[in-house]
Amino acid sequence: MTLASPTPEDVAGAPATDDDTTPRVDGRRARAERSRQAIADALLSLVEGGDLRPTAGRIAQRAGISERLIYHHFADLDELLRVVAERQLARARARMAPLDPVGTRAERIAAIVDQRAELFEWITPIRRASNLQEPFSADLREVRARSNAELRAHTAALFSAELDETDRAEHDELLAALDVTLSWPTWNTLRESGLDPTATRQTLARMVHALLDG
């Protein structure tokens, strides 16, 4: 879908001079940004409510705007999805405060499992919706790759003591195993198998202990 032609906001009176154009332009930009944010918020709200493939019409209805305005502010739904994915990544980062790497092994495992459990339960609706679109969107795949890299680095920092005790090949294998264990796909698989969040946390903790104690 292509960008719709914008509808200018006419202002009564004589043409603007250089002195009074800037405030008018800034005002239009601010309104445009508010509209973009409202559209992105509407999409997030629909997905979090279980509508994993919302149409432009449903997004517009939730945002309280006309469907045409979506394509005024976004070239197509792919661009909108990319903006939403970037926003979701920023929101996820805010939930990923650094954990203390000097605690006991048991304390560190409990801390990261609790943190990932909270994060993964929260992102599940968005992640499922993103999975439907990622095969068709290089932008979404790139955002997902950055997210995965950040989680991997977070895991590596927390368990640096254990990883540093291994040789290079074992280091890479252990980090890969920890990374997969503490990933959303593993969490989602356990949840879909019928485990509740508490049982899933316990299972992840058991898996991480086994990897580090082995």
Res. 157 pLDDT band, cuts 50 70 90: very high
Q: How far apart are CA 207 and CA 213, in angstroms?
A: 10
Q: Which of 29-43, 101-115, 196-210 has the lowest mean pLDDT?
A: 29-43
pLDDT at 85: 86
pLDDT exceeds 90 at position 165: yes
Torsions phi, psi of 150, nearest 5?
-65, -40
Q: What integer pLDDT is reported at residue 167 of this predicted model?
A: 94
Pairwise CA distance, residues 121 & 139, whole Å:
24
Buried b vs exposed e over 124-135: b needs ≥16 C-beta within 10 Å?
A: ebbbebbeebbe
Whole-model pTM? 0.76
Q: How confident is the model at residue 6 (pLDDT cuts 50, 70, 90)?
A: very low
Write down the mean pLDDT value for the chain. Answer: 86
Residue 27: band (very low, low, confident or very high) from pLDDT cuts 50, 70, 90: confident
Q: Which domains does the chain have, with CATH numbers?
A: 18-75 (1.10.10), 88-213 (1.10.357)
67-106 pLDDT, tens digit each: 988 988 888 877 888 888 888 889 889 889 889 999 999 9
pLDDT computed for residue 204 by the predictor: 98
Query: Which residue blocks in the chain are alpha helix, DSSP H?
Result: 18-48, 56-63, 67-73, 77-94, 105-133, 138-158, 160-164, 168-181, 184-192, 197-213
Q: Which amino acid belongs to residue 22?
A: T
